[in-house]
Structure 1
Amino acid sequence: MTNVIPDSAITSGEKDTLETITSVHHWTDTLLSFRCTRPSAYQFTPGQFARLGLRTESGETVSRAYSLTSAMTENTLEFYLVLVPNGPFSALLSKLLPGDKILVEKSSYGFMTADRFVDGEDLWMLATGTGLGPFISILQDPVVWKKFRHLVLVHCVRNTEELAYQALLEGLPQRTELADGGASLTLVRATTRDAQTASPRHLHGRITTLLENGTLEHVTGHSITVEASRVMICGNPEMITATREMLVQRGMRPCRRAIPGQFVTEDYW
């Protein structure tokens, strides 16, 4: 699964800055996260994405867009992604080492941000695979913990080993700047292939199935309603399409630029 945001031709100069890789972490053979230095004037809203560029040995620039997982206040930028077989950008990413260089476009992009919602009490974040990335950033924003009463993150992957960022997520309620906001955080993990680890907060099945049969609402203790719930969905396009249809059936509508709604989506593949 990789971000399907259209590629952008990245060139050095006025549009980009050349940054340095500071760390690389391999979660599995195909999942990795990395950090790079942050341009001094770089600004973003949690949930947005950055356009990155890497140069091949021949001097060609290959570019992709990836959601930021870092907190707004950090002095480095972090990205979480999957290595795509035979992907030209993935081939370069797989060789990244601290000290290597990467191009970062000066502007950030995207509209899957919590400020799209003008009201609501509960924020549901539904993610498959590396669609978790933007929610890591969103959940490190104190404003989100003040804006909503209940935060619910559901992360669905194939196998347990793909459940990344667990220590970070578990530790969020202990951060003073977040806890002072007053919101509660409920974490739900789901796997589609290994069922032997199933528990009340580690489920077996797809998000669409768990939503349709009521399991998600049952284990979290929160109902998804037009009045109280605001939903962010990031991941597999098929999951997003099916989930969107379920929400529409419940009377919810997507957020538009000038029309408030109850859900926003972003496709990953």
Structure 2
Amino acid sequence: MAQWLEAKVIERIDWNEHLFSLKVDCPNFPKFIAGQFTKLGLLQEDGKVLSRAYSLVNSPDDRTLEILAVPVENGLLSPKLHILEANDSILIMSPATGYLTLDEVPKSKTLWMMATGTGVGPFISILRSGQVWQEYENIVLVYAVRQENDLAYLDDIRDWKSAHKGRFSFVPIISREKTDFALHGRIPALLEQKKITGAAGLALDQETSQVMLCGNPQMIKDAMDVLKELGLTRHLRRSPGNITLEQYW
């Protein structure tokens, strides 16, 4: 049964002026599955809870809960979360839920995880867990943002590249500026141009690949169109396929 649990902020990380992570202590929060989400909430003066859903970024083995967020302009909750500091109180919905998890994805040789913005959160959790490294021969993280300083968790990503040489590929994409280390553009167009597969050095096809999409709904819609042209289909329990997705609004 879902219920609100009391928690405390123990740390905040500011990746830039608008992108931040919160680490939260909630001793009674039950174990979740990497890729799932929960709701964070703040108690209002009228006794109601103002809440929104956020993916958990931490590994299920880490008892410190973590989320990645941006303060949405004119948003009701996210600007309030953006000003929280250590020891501030917060509410968390128990248990976590969601199906963007490896248990829901058919097995394959290569797992492609494609995200925009904070949609990378569940993939960071999955990469922090041991399951993904045991089940897939190749793992590709495609992470698209607007500006270079919007890329979060780069230290973790570098560690995975070092620890899993030859198995883990990182394909950063930046849409609003050009750099010497990232692709420039949007995920759907770069898929169509085969620049993402070129950067990863791997095939993206029905026989060898599973794709997980998370983030901007327009990216997901457009990427689905390209992936379908490659012969991939959406995965459903009643109709197994190659594409598992979660839209962020």
Q: TM-score, normalised by structure 1?
A: 0.87
Specify the code of the residue in structure 2 equivalent to 1:169: I
Q: 1:250 aligns with which of 230, 236, 248?
A: 230
Higher mean displacement: 49-58 or 232-241: 49-58
Q: Map Cα deviations across residues 119-161 of structure 1 (whole Å, 9 max, x no partner).
A: 2110001111111111100111111111000000011111101
Correspondence 1:1-269 to 2 at 5 A: 15-57=3-45, 59-173=47-161, 184-195=167-178, 197-199=179-181, 202-269=182-249
Q: Map Cα deviations across residues 103-122 of structure 1 (whole Å, 9 max, x no partner).
A: 11111111111221232110
Specify the code of the residue in structure 1 equivalent to 2:155: A
Overall identity of the aligned pairs, in % = 36
Cα drift, residue 173 of structure 1: 4.6
The whole-number CA distance in structure 1 between the counterparts of 2:227 and 2:244 is 11
State the 4+ residue runs in structure 1 displaced beyond 6 angstroms: none
Distance 1:59 1:233, change over 3 A: same
Q: Is the 8 A contact 1:149 1:183 kept in 2?
A: no
The whole-number CA distance in structure 2 between the counterparts of 1:250 and 1:80 is 32
Q: Is the 8 A contact 2:36 2:55 kept in 1?
A: yes
DSSP-derived class of the 1:65 partner = strand
Unaligned runs of 5+ in 2: none
DSSP-derived class of the 1:139 partner = helix
DSSP-derived class of the 1:88 partner = coil
Q: CA RMSD in A?
A: 1.8
Distance 1:104 1:140, change over 3 A: same
The whole-number CA distance in structure 2 between the counterparts of 1:61 and 1:40 is 19
Q: Map Cα deviations across residues 183-215 of structure 1 (whole Å, 9 max, x no partner).
A: 7110111111111x133xx11111111100011
The whole-number CA distance in structure 1 between the counterparts of 2:186 and 2:29 is 40
Q: Map Cα deviations across residues 36-87 of structure 1 (whole Å, 9 max, x no partner).
A: 1133351211111011111235544200110000011101100001110121
The alignment covers a number of residue pairs equal to 249
Distance 1:183 1:113, change over 3 A: farther
